[in-house]
Amino acid sequence: MNSSYRSYRHLLKKRYFEPYDNPEIARANIPLKMEKEDWDYLVNLWIDEGWQFEQTGQEIDRLRLWELTHTRANGQACNEETQEKLDLLKELSSQVNEGTLEMNEHEVMVEVFGPERHGRVRGYGAGVTPTQLWGPRSFIFSDLQTKLQCAEKNMKTLK
């Protein structure tokens, strides 16, 4: 039921909220078979900065999203295992930012949590698929293909 409700809300947002630049115009265009109070609640939710996770005006990356959704207000994780993963994520991220480690966001997630399960994207909640985030042929697959080809060339060179 949760997945169906989230899909329904997502559909409402895409069709009836996002096409308008002004939330008040969107608020005035209530979808059919929806009560005004329910629509007002959703519009208020979507314009609330705390709910959006985009307080800086920039999109949030997977690593930061995982950190925000798995820590308490004091910055500590809810349990020891999660804290270990969080510490490793921060360590790898800082090495990538410093340039001492060459990994992309996906590779860092795989390093910390293991490989993704088919058709799932870790850190985005139930129902989010790679196709929804990155299109029909995700950059992850093509990125891995490129790295495999480079590794094969390097092996041939070494031989």
Distance CA 19, CA 96 (A): 37
How much is the pLDDT for 54?
46
139 has pLDDT over 60: no
Write out pLDDT tens, residues 82-121: 889 889 988 988 888 888 888 888 788 888 888 777 777 7
CB burial of 80-92 (b: ≥16 within 10 Å; e: otherwise) equals: eeeeebbeebeeb
pTM: 0.48
Write out pLDDT tens, residues 45-83: 888 766 555 444 556 677 877 787 788 877 788 889 988
